[in-house]
Protein backbone atom coordinates (compact mmCIF):
# COMPACT_ATOMS: atom_id res chain seq x y z
CA UNK A 1 0.00 0.00 0.00
CA UNK A 2 1.24 3.46 -0.83
CA UNK A 3 0.99 6.89 0.73
CA UNK A 4 1.09 9.61 -1.91
CA UNK A 5 2.02 13.15 -1.00
CA UNK A 6 1.54 15.92 -3.55
CA UNK A 7 3.45 19.20 -3.27
CA UNK A 8 2.08 22.67 -3.95
CA UNK A 9 3.05 22.85 -7.62
CA UNK A 10 1.34 19.49 -8.18
CA UNK A 11 -1.90 20.95 -6.78
CA UNK A 12 -1.63 24.58 -7.90
CA UNK A 13 -4.87 24.60 -9.93
CA UNK A 14 -7.59 22.29 -11.20
CA UNK A 15 -5.45 21.12 -14.15
CA UNK A 16 -2.60 20.10 -11.85
CA UNK A 17 -5.00 18.51 -9.35
CA UNK A 18 -6.45 16.57 -12.29
CA UNK A 19 -3.00 15.09 -12.96
CA UNK A 20 -2.66 14.16 -9.29
CA UNK A 21 -6.08 12.50 -9.30
CA UNK A 22 -5.15 10.51 -12.41
CA UNK A 23 -2.00 9.32 -10.62
CA UNK A 24 -4.08 8.24 -7.62
CA UNK A 25 -6.60 6.46 -9.86
CA UNK A 26 -3.84 4.64 -11.77
CA UNK A 27 -3.02 2.37 -8.80
CA UNK A 28 -5.55 1.11 -6.23
CA UNK A 29 -2.54 0.70 -3.91
CA UNK A 30 -2.44 4.48 -3.58
CA UNK A 31 -4.81 4.63 -0.61
CA UNK A 32 -3.73 7.60 1.46
CA UNK A 33 -3.24 11.07 -0.01
CA UNK A 34 -1.41 13.88 1.79
CA UNK A 35 -1.95 17.26 0.17
CA UNK A 36 -0.10 20.59 0.20
CA UNK A 37 -1.72 23.97 -0.33
CA UNK A 38 -1.94 25.25 -3.93
CA UNK A 39 1.50 26.51 -4.96
CA UNK A 40 2.61 28.79 -7.76
CA UNK A 41 0.91 28.42 -11.16
CA UNK A 42 3.70 30.37 -12.84
CA UNK A 43 7.01 31.94 -11.85
CA UNK A 44 5.41 35.25 -10.79
CA UNK A 45 2.42 33.72 -8.97
CA UNK A 46 2.00 33.72 -5.16
CA UNK A 47 1.65 30.52 -3.13
CA UNK A 48 -1.61 30.24 -1.20
CA UNK A 49 0.41 29.70 2.00
CA UNK A 50 2.14 33.07 1.45
CA UNK A 51 -1.24 34.76 0.86
CA UNK A 52 -2.47 33.29 4.14
CA UNK A 53 0.55 34.51 6.12
CA UNK A 54 0.02 37.92 4.51
CA UNK A 55 -3.68 37.90 5.45
CA UNK A 56 -2.82 37.41 9.11
CA UNK A 57 -0.04 40.00 9.22
CA UNK A 58 -1.51 42.84 7.15
CA UNK A 59 -3.63 45.78 8.41
CA UNK A 60 -7.42 45.31 8.51
CA UNK A 61 -7.92 47.60 5.53
CA UNK A 62 -5.86 45.36 3.23
CA UNK A 63 -7.55 42.13 4.21
CA UNK A 64 -10.60 42.20 1.92
CA UNK A 65 -8.37 42.17 -1.17
CA UNK A 66 -6.32 39.21 0.09
CA UNK A 67 -9.47 37.34 1.13
CA UNK A 68 -10.89 37.93 -2.33
CA UNK A 69 -7.76 36.45 -3.93
CA UNK A 70 -8.02 33.40 -1.69
CA UNK A 71 -11.73 32.97 -2.44
CA UNK A 72 -10.96 33.24 -6.14
CA UNK A 73 -8.21 30.64 -6.03
CA UNK A 74 -10.20 28.05 -4.13
CA UNK A 75 -13.48 28.95 -5.82
CA UNK A 76 -11.79 28.52 -9.21
CA UNK A 77 -10.49 25.08 -8.24
CA UNK A 78 -13.91 23.96 -6.96
CA UNK A 79 -15.64 25.18 -10.13
CA UNK A 80 -13.09 23.81 -12.56
CA UNK A 81 -13.09 20.42 -10.86
CA UNK A 82 -16.90 20.42 -10.70
CA UNK A 83 -16.95 19.59 -7.00
CA UNK A 84 -20.18 20.14 -5.08
CA UNK A 85 -18.62 21.94 -2.14
CA UNK A 86 -19.67 25.26 -0.66
CA UNK A 87 -16.67 27.03 0.80
CA UNK A 88 -18.81 29.91 2.12
CA UNK A 89 -19.00 28.52 5.67
CA UNK A 90 -15.25 27.77 5.66
CA UNK A 91 -14.39 31.33 4.68
CA UNK A 92 -16.83 32.69 7.28
CA UNK A 93 -14.87 30.73 9.91
CA UNK A 94 -11.58 32.11 8.62
CA UNK A 95 -12.96 35.67 8.81
CA UNK A 96 -14.17 35.03 12.32
CA UNK A 97 -10.69 33.87 13.36
CA UNK A 98 -9.34 37.13 11.96
CA UNK A 99 -11.55 39.11 14.32
CA UNK A 100 -10.56 36.81 17.20
CA UNK A 101 -6.88 37.47 16.46
CA UNK A 102 -5.77 33.88 15.76
CA UNK A 103 -2.04 33.40 15.13
CA UNK A 104 -0.14 32.82 11.86
CA UNK A 105 -0.11 29.02 12.19
CA UNK A 106 -3.89 28.77 12.04
CA UNK A 107 -4.15 30.87 8.89
CA UNK A 108 -1.18 29.25 7.15
CA UNK A 109 -2.73 25.83 7.72
CA UNK A 110 -5.93 26.72 5.88
CA UNK A 111 -4.28 26.21 2.49
CA UNK A 112 -3.70 22.51 3.14
CA UNK A 113 -7.03 22.19 4.96
CA UNK A 114 -9.16 23.60 2.13
CA UNK A 115 -7.21 21.93 -0.67
CA UNK A 116 -7.54 18.56 1.05
CA UNK A 117 -11.26 19.06 1.62
CA UNK A 118 -11.69 19.74 -2.09
CA UNK A 119 -9.60 16.73 -3.12
CA UNK A 120 -11.42 14.45 -0.66
CA UNK A 121 -14.78 15.64 -2.04
CA UNK A 122 -13.65 15.05 -5.64
CA UNK A 123 -12.37 11.55 -4.82
CA UNK A 124 -15.35 10.76 -2.58
CA UNK A 125 -12.88 9.70 0.14
CA UNK A 126 -12.97 10.54 3.87
CA UNK A 127 -11.14 13.69 5.00
CA UNK A 128 -9.11 13.29 8.20
CA UNK A 129 -8.20 16.64 9.74
CA UNK A 130 -4.51 16.78 10.68
CA UNK A 131 -5.44 18.86 13.75
CA UNK A 132 -6.98 15.69 15.19
CA UNK A 133 -4.04 13.40 14.58
CA UNK A 134 -0.72 15.28 14.30
CA UNK A 135 0.33 16.26 17.82
CA UNK A 136 2.68 19.01 18.95
CA UNK A 137 3.81 19.96 22.46
CA UNK A 138 3.19 23.42 23.93
CA UNK A 139 6.54 24.62 22.56
CA UNK A 140 5.56 23.64 19.01
CA UNK A 141 7.72 20.50 18.76
CA UNK A 142 6.24 17.46 17.04
CA UNK A 143 5.38 14.56 19.38
CA UNK A 144 6.24 11.62 17.09
CA UNK A 145 4.92 8.74 19.17
CA UNK A 146 1.52 10.23 20.15
CA UNK A 147 1.16 11.30 16.50
CA UNK A 148 1.93 7.79 15.28
CA UNK A 149 -0.65 6.32 17.66
CA UNK A 150 -3.33 8.88 16.76
CA UNK A 151 -2.73 8.51 13.01
CA UNK A 152 -2.75 4.71 13.22
CA UNK A 153 -6.02 4.79 15.19
CA UNK A 154 -7.72 7.22 12.80
CA UNK A 155 -6.50 5.68 9.54
CA UNK A 156 -6.43 2.02 10.60
CA UNK A 157 -10.14 1.61 10.09
CA UNK A 158 -10.23 3.45 6.77
CA UNK A 159 -9.74 1.99 3.36
CA UNK A 160 -8.73 5.34 1.87
CA UNK A 161 -8.37 8.90 3.15
CA UNK A 162 -7.08 12.39 2.41
CA UNK A 163 -4.99 14.11 5.11
CA UNK A 164 -3.84 17.73 4.86
CA UNK A 165 -0.09 18.25 5.26
CA UNK A 166 1.91 20.87 7.16
CA UNK A 167 -0.03 21.17 10.43
CA UNK A 168 -1.36 19.53 13.55
CA UNK A 169 -2.42 20.83 16.94
CA UNK A 170 -0.90 21.51 20.34
CA UNK A 171 -2.18 20.28 23.72
CA UNK A 172 -4.67 23.19 23.83
CA UNK A 173 -6.15 22.10 20.51
CA UNK A 174 -4.75 25.12 18.65
CA UNK A 175 -3.27 24.60 15.21
CA UNK A 176 0.53 24.41 14.95
CA UNK A 177 2.46 24.12 11.71
CA UNK A 178 5.79 22.61 10.80
CA UNK A 179 8.39 24.88 9.20
CA UNK A 180 7.92 25.68 5.49
CA UNK A 181 7.74 22.66 3.24
CA UNK A 182 6.46 20.61 6.18
CA UNK A 183 3.82 18.63 4.26
CA UNK A 184 6.70 16.27 3.42
CA UNK A 185 6.87 15.45 7.13
CA UNK A 186 3.12 14.76 7.33
CA UNK A 187 3.46 12.38 4.38
CA UNK A 188 6.24 10.50 6.16
CA UNK A 189 4.26 10.32 9.41
CA UNK A 190 1.22 8.94 7.60
CA UNK A 191 3.38 6.40 5.74
CA UNK A 192 4.86 5.20 9.01
CA UNK A 193 1.50 5.04 10.80
CA UNK A 194 -0.23 2.96 8.11
CA UNK A 195 2.89 0.81 7.55
CA UNK A 196 3.00 1.76 3.89
CA UNK A 197 5.20 -0.18 1.49
CA UNK A 198 6.23 3.04 -0.25
CA UNK A 199 6.05 6.74 0.51
CA UNK A 200 5.55 8.44 -2.86
CA UNK A 201 6.45 12.12 -2.82
CA UNK A 202 5.11 13.78 -5.99
CA UNK A 203 6.71 17.06 -6.99
CA UNK A 204 7.69 18.97 -10.13
CA UNK A 205 11.04 17.33 -10.87
CA UNK A 206 11.74 13.73 -11.84
CA UNK A 207 13.49 12.94 -8.58
CA UNK A 208 16.52 14.12 -6.66
CA UNK A 209 18.92 15.56 -9.21
CA UNK A 210 22.64 14.77 -9.43
CA UNK A 211 23.53 18.47 -9.47
CA UNK A 212 21.93 21.88 -9.05
CA UNK A 213 19.62 22.48 -12.07
CA UNK A 214 20.26 26.24 -11.80
CA UNK A 215 23.91 25.58 -12.55
CA UNK A 216 23.98 22.44 -14.70
CA UNK A 217 21.55 22.11 -17.60
CA UNK A 218 19.10 19.25 -17.12
CA UNK A 219 21.08 17.19 -14.60
CA UNK A 220 20.17 13.51 -14.46
CA UNK A 221 18.02 12.31 -11.57
CA UNK A 222 19.55 9.94 -9.04
CA UNK A 223 17.90 6.55 -9.54
CA UNK A 224 18.62 5.20 -6.07
CA UNK A 225 20.21 6.74 -2.99
CA UNK A 226 20.55 5.71 0.65
CA UNK A 227 18.94 7.78 3.40
CA UNK A 228 22.47 8.55 4.66
CA UNK A 229 23.77 9.78 1.30
CA UNK A 230 20.65 11.90 0.84
CA UNK A 231 21.34 13.52 4.22
CA UNK A 232 24.94 14.19 3.13
CA UNK A 233 23.84 15.89 -0.11
CA UNK A 234 21.11 17.86 1.68
CA UNK A 235 23.56 19.08 4.35
CA UNK A 236 25.78 20.38 1.56
CA UNK A 237 22.95 22.34 -0.04
CA UNK A 238 20.93 19.99 -2.28
CA UNK A 239 17.28 20.99 -2.04
CA UNK A 240 15.24 17.85 -1.64
CA UNK A 241 12.60 16.89 0.90
CA UNK A 242 12.10 18.72 4.17
CA UNK A 243 15.00 17.60 6.35
CA UNK A 244 12.70 16.16 9.02
CA UNK A 245 10.76 14.07 6.49
CA UNK A 246 13.22 11.20 6.20
CA UNK A 247 13.44 10.14 9.85
CA UNK A 248 9.92 8.68 10.33
CA UNK A 249 10.16 6.49 7.23
CA UNK A 250 13.80 5.59 7.78
CA UNK A 251 12.87 4.27 11.25
CA UNK A 252 10.07 2.20 9.74
CA UNK A 253 12.22 1.00 6.82
CA UNK A 254 9.85 2.50 4.24
CA UNK A 255 11.44 3.63 0.96
CA UNK A 256 10.65 7.07 -0.44
CA UNK A 257 9.98 7.39 -4.17
CA UNK A 258 10.28 11.01 -5.38
CA UNK A 259 8.21 11.41 -8.56
CA UNK A 260 7.21 14.09 -11.07
CA UNK A 261 3.46 14.84 -11.32
CA UNK A 262 4.03 16.30 -14.80
CA UNK A 263 5.92 13.21 -16.01
CA UNK A 264 4.32 10.30 -14.17
CA UNK A 265 6.02 7.71 -16.37
CA UNK A 266 9.46 8.76 -15.07
CA UNK A 267 10.53 6.39 -12.32
CA UNK A 268 12.02 9.16 -10.16
CA UNK A 269 14.40 8.59 -7.27
CA UNK A 270 14.24 5.79 -4.72
CA UNK A 271 15.54 6.66 -1.27
CA UNK A 272 16.07 3.62 0.92
CA UNK A 273 18.30 2.09 3.60
CA UNK A 274 20.96 0.66 1.34
CA UNK A 275 21.98 1.54 -2.17
CA UNK A 276 23.18 -1.61 -3.99
CA UNK A 277 26.70 -1.75 -5.43
CA UNK A 278 26.80 0.46 -8.52
CA UNK A 279 26.54 -1.22 -11.90
CA UNK A 280 29.75 -1.40 -13.91
CA UNK A 281 30.03 1.73 -16.05
CA UNK A 282 27.89 3.80 -13.66
CA UNK A 283 29.00 7.33 -12.77
CA UNK A 284 31.57 7.27 -9.98
CA UNK A 285 29.53 9.67 -7.80
CA UNK A 286 25.97 9.66 -6.44
CA UNK A 287 25.67 13.41 -6.91
CA UNK A 288 27.21 16.72 -6.03
CA UNK A 289 25.77 19.60 -4.09
CA UNK A 290 26.95 22.94 -2.83
CA UNK A 291 25.67 26.30 -1.79
CA UNK A 292 26.77 29.87 -2.05
CA UNK A 293 26.58 30.99 1.56
CA UNK A 294 28.72 28.66 3.62
CA UNK A 295 31.56 29.98 5.77
CA UNK A 296 34.58 27.87 6.62
CA UNK A 297 36.19 28.08 10.03
CA UNK A 298 39.59 26.50 10.51
CA UNK A 299 40.94 25.44 13.88
CA UNK A 300 44.60 24.60 14.44
CA UNK A 301 45.07 22.45 17.51
CA UNK A 302 47.91 23.03 19.97
CA UNK A 303 48.14 19.42 21.09
CA UNK A 304 47.38 20.40 24.72
CA UNK A 305 44.27 18.21 24.68
CA UNK A 306 43.36 15.07 22.74
CA UNK A 307 41.85 15.81 19.35
CA UNK A 308 38.58 14.01 20.15
CA UNK A 309 38.10 16.22 23.19
CA UNK A 310 38.61 19.32 21.07
CA UNK A 311 36.12 18.05 18.47
CA UNK A 312 33.54 17.24 21.15
CA UNK A 313 33.93 20.65 22.84
CA UNK A 314 33.59 22.31 19.44
CA UNK A 315 30.43 20.34 18.60
CA UNK A 316 28.92 21.20 22.01
CA UNK A 317 29.75 24.89 21.62
CA UNK A 318 28.17 25.08 18.16
CA UNK A 319 25.08 23.11 19.18
CA UNK A 320 24.74 25.34 22.25
CA UNK A 321 24.77 28.40 20.00
CA UNK A 322 22.18 26.80 17.72
CA UNK A 323 24.61 26.70 14.79
CA UNK A 324 24.27 23.80 12.37
CA UNK A 325 27.49 22.15 11.28
CA UNK A 326 27.12 21.48 7.56
CA UNK A 327 30.37 19.61 7.23
CA UNK A 328 33.58 19.03 9.09
CA UNK A 329 36.90 17.37 8.42
CA UNK A 330 40.39 17.30 9.88
CA UNK A 331 43.54 16.94 7.86
CA UNK A 332 47.22 17.72 8.52
CA UNK A 333 46.54 19.38 11.87
CA UNK A 334 43.78 21.58 10.51
CA UNK A 335 40.16 21.04 11.54
CA UNK A 336 37.60 22.75 9.30
CA UNK A 337 33.89 23.25 9.89
CA UNK A 338 31.42 24.65 7.40
CA UNK A 339 28.50 26.68 8.78
CA UNK A 340 25.89 28.90 7.14
CA UNK A 341 27.49 32.30 6.42
CA UNK A 342 24.90 34.18 8.45
CA UNK A 343 25.93 32.18 11.53
CA UNK A 344 29.68 32.73 11.01
CA UNK A 345 30.13 35.26 13.82
CA UNK A 346 28.02 33.31 16.34
CA UNK A 347 30.02 30.19 15.52
CA UNK A 348 33.42 31.87 15.94
CA UNK A 349 32.41 33.47 19.24
CA UNK A 350 30.98 30.22 20.62
CA UNK A 351 34.10 28.31 19.59
CA UNK A 352 36.44 30.93 21.04
CA UNK A 353 34.55 30.85 24.33
CA UNK A 354 34.62 27.07 24.57
CA UNK A 355 38.12 26.38 23.24
CA UNK A 356 40.10 29.37 24.54
CA UNK A 357 38.30 31.43 27.17
CA UNK A 358 36.98 28.42 29.12
CA UNK A 359 40.51 26.96 29.36
CA UNK A 360 42.05 30.11 30.90
N1 LIG B 1 2.23 24.92 2.04
C2 LIG B 1 3.35 24.91 2.96
C3 LIG B 1 4.48 25.76 2.42
O4 LIG B 1 4.29 26.47 1.45
C5 LIG B 1 3.79 23.54 3.32
C6 LIG B 1 4.16 22.63 2.19
O7 LIG B 1 3.81 22.90 1.05
O8 LIG B 1 4.80 21.61 2.43
O9 LIG B 1 5.54 25.77 2.98
Mean pLDDT of 135-155: 97
Q: Rounded to the nearest whole angstrom, what is the distance from the C-alpha of residue 323 to the centroid of ligand 1? A: 24
Q: What are phi and psi of 337, to 5 degrees?
A: -120, 145
Contact 105, 173 (CB under 8 A): no
Strands 198-203, 256-260: parallel, antiparallel or unpaired by DSSP?
parallel
Question: What is the atom index within ligand 1 of the atom nearest the CA of 184?
Answer: 8
Residues whose beta carbon lies within 6 Å of some atom of ligand 1: 7-8, 36-37, 47, 49, 111, 165-166, 180-184
Strands 198-203, 2-6: parallel, antiparallel or unpaired by DSSP?
parallel
Residue 360 has pLDDT above 80, yes or no: no
How sure is the predictor about 247, in pLDDT bands with cuts at 50, 70 and 90?
very high
Question: What is the atom index within ligand 1 of the atom nearest the CA of 36?
Answer: 7
Q: Which pLDDT value is given to residue 95?
A: 96
Query: Is the pTM above the cut of 0.85?
Result: yes
**Helix-helix angle 63-81:104-123, to 10 degrees:** 10
334-353 confidence digits (pLDDT tens): 999 999 999 999 999 999 99
Mean pLDDT of 138-154: 97
Question: What is the atom index within ligand 1 of the atom nearest the CA of 50?
Answer: 4
Could you give all domains of the chain from N- to C-terminal order, each with its CATH number?
2-272 (3.40.1160.10), 294-359 (3.30.2130.10)
Q: Please name the helix (run of DSSP H) or strand (run of DSSP E) that holds residue 126, with its range, or none.
A: none
Q: Rounded to the nearest whole angstrom, what is the distance from the C-alpha of residue 104 to the centroid of ligand 1? A: 13
Q: Rounded to the nearest whole angstrom, what is the distance from the C-alpha of residue 215 to the centroid of ligand 1? A: 25
Q: What is the CA radius of gyration of the chain?
A: 23
47-62 confidence digits (pLDDT tens): 999 999 999 999 999 9
121-139 confidence digits (pLDDT tens): 999 999 999 999 999 999 9
Amino acid sequence: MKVVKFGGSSLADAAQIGKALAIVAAEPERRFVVASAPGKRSADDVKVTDLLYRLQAEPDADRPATLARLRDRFGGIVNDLGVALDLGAEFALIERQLTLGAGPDYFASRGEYLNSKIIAAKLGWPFVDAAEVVRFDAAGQLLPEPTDAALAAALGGLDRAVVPGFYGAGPDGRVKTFTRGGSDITGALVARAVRADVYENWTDVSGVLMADPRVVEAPAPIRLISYADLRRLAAMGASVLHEAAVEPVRLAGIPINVRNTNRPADQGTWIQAEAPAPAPGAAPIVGLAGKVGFALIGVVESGARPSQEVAAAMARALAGAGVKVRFQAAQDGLRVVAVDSDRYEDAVRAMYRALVADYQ
